[in-house]
Structure 1
Amino acid sequence: MLDNILNLSRTTKRIITIFVDIFLVAIAYFGAFIVRLEDNAINLFDGEYLNVFAILFPVSILVFIKLGLYRAVLRFVTIRIVKGVLVGTAFSTAILLLLSFLFNIWMPRSIPFLYFFFLTILIISSRLTFRSLLNKGKDKGQCVIIYGAGDSGRQLLTALNQMSGYFVAAFVDDNRKLHKLTLHGITVYSPAELERLIAQHNVQQVLLAIPSVPMSRRREIIENLTALPCEVLSIPGMEDLVTGKAKLSTLNKVSIDDLLGRDPVKPINDLLKANIVNKNVMVTGAGGSIGSELCRQIINQQPKKLVLFELNEFSLYAIEAELREVIKRNQLDIQLIPILGTIQNKAHLMKVMSTFKINTLYHAAAYKHVPLVEYNMIEGVKNNIFGTLNCALSAIETAVESFILISTDKAVRPTNVMGTTKRIAELVLQAQAKAQATTRFCMVRFGNVLGSSGSVVPLFRKQIEQGGPITLTHPEITRYFMTIPEASQLVIQAGAMGVGGDVFVLDMGESVKIIDLAKRMISLMGMKEKSVENPNGIEIKITGLRPGEKLYEELLIGDNVSKSTHPRIMTAKEIMLDWSELSVLLEQLGNACANADVKLVRELLLKFPASFNPVDGICDLVWREKLNA
């Protein structure tokens, strides 16, 4: 029967509701007299009393229609209907008083009060009863708990009630004042009762509705939830909700950013603007993870021109389309210039920088994947070292004011070719900074960024979704992590602080054990790690360290570090070579690359003051194939 009612048209349902309300008006009207007069009740079904009712009910229904009481969908009504019902029943009571005067019928003074009380209770109760019956008749779907009973949590409940597939068992909130209260029919509990509630209701998901909670508290909450046998989903952040980028009902898998991210330090606006406002800015590697986020941050500071320099056609297309939409939406006066090219082509770099009169250059283009650079040594050296040299010399010759290199923690005491090439790139800029005064060079060194290409986070997520196993190179391996937006903002601010040859190091927080990260991700996605007790869980498979890979990464070579004006940016004093000495080594290295002499390239890399300490033999695939031929 409930299914038949649900399948009726909206108009038919409203007509049924109107007839129910006519019946309720009759109960309230006659019931008020019966309760008041009891055995002395006069014959209400004769004469003027029936005439009063005959006019009272249609006028009352018209008032209810005008107030919109029949526009609400019964299945989704909330206690908020009380206000509308009170206004409607008050009007109906006033009509009753007016009719009693016009028809000159005898009516005790308590009758209007009883009528108002009965009609209000009956109308509200009927709506809530219908809602309860109709909702019981639908498929409950997944049983969930909403963490957060504030405005966002209550709005999420309303949104879920309008969707199929979710049944909310309880609210959970840190606020003790809310505990044991009932909001929209759902009880609020303490987080300490989560485990019991999950077991009692067979809860499959916990939905986080805490968009404005500080990152530190959010991380603590999620840490506690990872131990529970359910998936954790989250509504979008407050910024996305306010700007309209996402809806409250949009449920996302909890990002690992929530576990590893930190409360952001408010940027220093003067540092963000210094190298960008009304200037011509260029970003190499503009389509990469860091490069693209740098571009997003840069257009917020309104440069005159932004040159996107990128080797990969699709990556360039994607970031250019995204930024053009932002510029159009916000009506920004910024000239966006997408340029295809490689940093190994110095002539092309010169032409681009001179044509667009670049003031500030952020150099993010590099080969960063450790094993791939081990397998392709010559290309790694040519791109990361000589590509950076090309950019630096082009910047000097075209009078670029500021040049900021995106470096890496793998440049510190490197055990692989990639880290070594990045440290030599730093040495190139340090030497050039000392040799000339045209361009101000600085380097910003930091660790892994969450979600970047090659990051373990998207890899682990994909492996978990496929049922495992998660492949981990070593149980003791650790890494530093930072969110891409935070890293990009800090890069821009650090670049504004450089005076020439500076090596800036970003505060990455505590290093993270990758096996712990994998276990957290398994829990967050509602699954369990494979074990004797749980043989069908997600396996964590140890595969062994890859070529050139380190167990631990460092951010500093020495201990000579000092604070800057920003709490999360430090300045490091690192060993350097004069250009006269460095250029000799670079010339030899360039000749070895031109001759594809991999063995000599390896020997020369060891001669640079980069503290290169390889843990593997030469892994270059072409060289090894020829050796075995």
Structure 2
Amino acid sequence: MSDSQSRLTRLFESLSRRRKRIVAVVSDLVMIPFALWTAFVLRLGELTPQVAPFWPAFVVAALISIPVFARLGLYRQVVRYMGNHAMWAVAKGATMTAIAISIVAYMVPLRGFPRSVPIIFWLIALIYIGGTRFAVRAYVTRVARRFASRKPVIIYGAGSSGVDLARAIAGQGEWVTVAFIDDDRSKRGRTIDGVVVYGPSDLPTLIADSGAKDVLLAVPSTAADDRKRIIEHLESFAVHVRLIPDLGDLVSGQSVANMRDVEIGDLLGRDAVEPLPHLLSRSVRGQTVLVTGAGGSIGSELCRQVIRGAPKVLLLLDQNEYGLFEIHREMRRIVETEALEVPTVAVLGSVTDGALLRRTMSGYQVDTVYHAAAYKHVSLVERNVIAGLKNNTFGTLYAAEAAIEAGVKRFILISTDKAVRTTNVMGASKRLAEMTLQAMQVNTRDTIFSMVRFGNVLGSSGSVVPLFLEQIEAGGPVTVTHADATRYFMTIPEAAQLVVQAGSMAEGGDVFLLDMGKPVRILDLANRMIRLKGFAVKSPEQPDGDIEIQIVGLKAGEKLHEELLIADAASGTEHRK
């Protein structure tokens, strides 16, 4: 079936029942006189019979047939499910119309009117009126079978992105677009490629009528706050919400394959903050940079930010062989594809190996160190105190000593909000690391030490968001530690960019706090993630829900609310975040 045919079908099916009846009536008003004209052609054997003297018969045929068909219920029939009853209605209507034509021909009288014309008309009317309906039924049924395996989907956004997405979907076999939704009132009621544009208030009816379980959000250029508002509106429906990553994917034709689920960053409504170029380059451009913990979530993103800042050399250090191999391979791929001239060196080892750190920093004459190596999982470090202190606190000490000995200019520690009024070993080990650097700063001005403190990073290993996703995909339950627990969140790229920029602003012993926005209630986050996956939350109020949320209690050392400040003594910097 051609694309134009499928568009025509969608256009017809999108019409209201009243409009479909009007189409049927108009069609019959054309078919009935045409059937009578055909009867004259067949009876007289002429392609252009002189029928003008018989015009009363044509008027009567039209005026009688439509009310009769309506009375017999022909216009209440659903074309797709039309059966024998509809054919009987057509036969009865054609019979009554043929009788009316005969009566008019006799009563007027219509001189020269062939007496066999009403009989021929009856046969032709059956074919024209009944045949066209059954032909349409066969066509619609064939289309329905073709699309039966396709999932109905609603596209939110009838702009260029939404239209491109709908056309991409039409060329694939997974989905079929049943409606557009748009906030712009001027677009509502329009038909685009056979698909009607509706307003947000029409969503409940559209979802119920079409059976759509997926809503694709095609508003890539919309501000984060507006996108958050749209997502919040969609949460109340049992639909799976997905988004177009960016406009570039549409241009490259990758939009359908790259549709992504709603992420916590979308729920936060935070617009990405553009980095300040001079801050990004101050500690990177032309410098030899070492990233410890390079294979981790933050460390790997730091590497991605740094290598594009044109460093002289990029050193990657990690004790995880696989993680180091992967990030080193990615760095080499970036160098090759983006035509960069940045040597990359992978160093396999631990930050607790002071000799390795001294050899690396001195041998490569390192200028800047981003110290991201750390054990960060609260429950694990709580059960492995010695390992946690050795890696987080003493590893920082050994790295700082090696930096001073090698003449490193800047040393930036990646810290955590758990170091504030800490209640767990992991937080205490990071707070000790901060205090160690501040103490060492007193005795040296050659190396500038600074610390960057922030909360949970979205998508990092072991964070709550991927854990919730795994639990939702498994059918639940989703486990929440406490009904009132809150956490700060930030995306990995934003955090890494701000770390690089904060290091450039350091003057010695500084603790930088990243603006994490407002804390997020974890229970609310769990509820929203479940709903945006198209599931209902199972609860005492909704026992038939899909996925249950269980409150499991705070783990040892875990806080109900995280903080970023020990005392209210924060001051602003040249970067607003």
Same-fold call, TM cutoff 0.5? yes
| Cα-to-partner distance string for 1:320-366 (whole Å, 9 max, x where unaligned) | 11121111001100001111010000000000111111100000000
Say how many residue pairs are matched.
Answer: 449
CA distance in 2, matches of 1:475, 1:552: 11
Per-residue deviation at 1:137?
4.4
Partner residue of 1:206? 215
Task: Provide Cα deviations, 1:496-541, integer angstroms capped at 9, x if missing partner.
Answer: 0001000100000000000000000000110011124333521111
Q: 1:430 to 1:191 in 2, by over 3 A?
A: same
* Whole-Å separation in 2 of the counterparts to 1:178 and 1:466: 40
How far residue 410 of structure 1 moved from its aligned partner, in angstroms, is 0.3
Residue of 466, 469, 477 corresponding to 2:474: 466
1:475 positional shift: 0.9
**Does residue 386 of structure 2 align to residue 350 of structure 1?**
no
User: What residue is the counterpart of 1:314 in the other structure?
Assistant: 322
What is the CA–CA distance in structure 1 between the aligned matches of 2:321 and 2:224, rounded to whole Å? 36
Distance 1:245 1:276 in 2: 35
1:429 equivalent to 2:437? Answer yes
Q: Distance in 2 between matches of 1:248 and 1:199?
A: 24
In structure 2, C-alpha distance between the alignment counterparts of 1:514 and 1:235, rounded to whole Å: 26
Superposition deviation, residue 136 in structure 1: 4.0
* Structure 2 residue 189 is the aligned partner of structure 1 residue 180: yes
- Partners of 2:355 and 2:223 lie apart in 1 by 49
Partner of 1:515: 523
Q: Which residue of 1 aligns with 2:385?
A: 377
Matches within 5 A, 1:378-527: 378-527=386-535
Aligned Cα RMSD in Å?
Answer: 2.5
Using the TM superposition, give the Cα deviation of residue 470 of structure 1 relative to its aligned residue in structure 2, in angstroms: 0.7
Other-structure match for 2:26: none
Task: Give the CA deviation at 1:394.
Answer: 0.3
Q: Please say which of residues 554-563 and 246-255 is displaced more in the overlay.
A: 246-255
Q: Secondary structure at the match of 1:562?
A: coil
Output the amino acid matched with 1:563: G
Task: Give secondary structure in 2 for the equivalent of 1:414.
Answer: coil
CA contact (8 A) 1:160 1:249 kept: no
**Mapped contact 2:161–2:250 kept (Cα < 8 A):** no
Q: Do structure 1's residue 235 and structure 2's residue 244 form an aligned pair?
A: yes
Matches within 5 A, 1:141-156: 141-156=150-165
CA contact (8 A) 1:235 1:249 kept: no
In the alignment, the residues of structure 1 paired with residue 418 and residue 184 of structure 2 have an alpha-carbon distance, to the nearest angstrom, of 44
How far apart, in 1, do the equivalents of 2:322 and 2:567 lie?
A: 41
Structure 2, unaligned stretches of length 5 or more?
7-45, 49-136
Name the CA distance, whole Å, in 1 between partners of 2:561 and 2:466: 21
| 2:289 aligns with one of 273, 281, 286 | 281
Q: Is the 8 A contact 2:374 2:392 kept in 1?
A: yes
Extract unaligned runs of 5+ from structure 1: 7-41, 45-128, 569-629
Q: Does residue 535 of the first structure (1) align with residue 511 of the second (2)?
A: no
Give the Cα separation in 1 of the matches to 2:284 and 2:138: 61
Aligned-partner residue type, residue 196 of structure 1? T
Distance 1:246-1:298 versus aligned 2 partners, 3 A rule: farther
Q: What is the one-letter code of the residue matched to 1:176?
A: R
Aligned counterpart, 2:345: 337
Taking structure 1 as the reference length, what is the TM-score of the superposition? 0.68
Asked if the contact 1:271–1:496 (Cα under 8 Å) also holds between the matched residues in 2, the reply is yes
Instruction: Find out whether 1:164 has 2:173 as its counterpart.
Output: yes
State the alpha-carbon separation in 1 of the partners of residues 183 and 479 from structure 2.
Answer: 37
Alpha-carbon distance, 1:199 to partner: 1.6
Residues 156 and 217 in structure 2, CA contact (< 8 A), matched pair in contact too: yes
CA contact (8 A) 2:181 2:198 kept: yes
Alpha-carbon distance in 1 for matches of 2:226, 2:139: 36
Over 3 Å counting, the alpha-carbon distance change for 1:131 and 1:400 in structure 2 is farther
Query: Which of these residues, 556, 567, 591, is aligned with residue 576 of structure 2?
Result: 567
Checking the alignment, whether the CA contact within 8 Å between 1:228 and 1:523 is kept in structure 2 is yes
Change (3 A) 1:460 1:509: same
**Any conservation in 2 of the 1:531–1:537 contact (CA below 8 Å)?**
no
What residue identity is the alignment partner of 2:159? G
State the alpha-carbon separation in 2 of the partners of residues 134 and 162 from structure 1: 18
Q: Which residue of 2 aligns with 1:67?
A: none
Q: Write the distance in 1 (CA, Å) between the matches of 2:403 and 2:280.
A: 21
1:296 alignment partner in structure 2 = 304
Change (3 A) 1:130 1:493: farther
Structure 1 residue 131: deviation in Å?
Answer: 10
CA–CA separation in structure 2 for the residues paired with 1:230 and 1:382? 48
Once residues 130 and 342 of structure 1 are traced to their aligned partners in structure 2, the CA distance between those partners, rounded to angstroms, is: 71
Q: Which moved more, 1:407-416 or 1:147-156?
A: 147-156
CA distance in 2: counterparts of 1:245 and 1:275, whole angstroms: 38
Aligned with 2:147: secondary structure?
Answer: coil
Pair 1:350–1:549, CA change in 2 (3 A): same
One-letter amino acid of the counterpart of residue 182, structure 2: D
User: 2: distance between equivalents of 1:167 and 1:354?
Assistant: 61
Per-residue CA deviation, residues 247-279 of structure 1 (Å, 9 max, x unaligned), is 444322222221125101221100011000111
Q: CA deviation at 1:474?
A: 1.0
Return closer, same or farther for 1:249/1:372 CA change in 2, 3 Å cut-off: closer
Percent identity reads 50
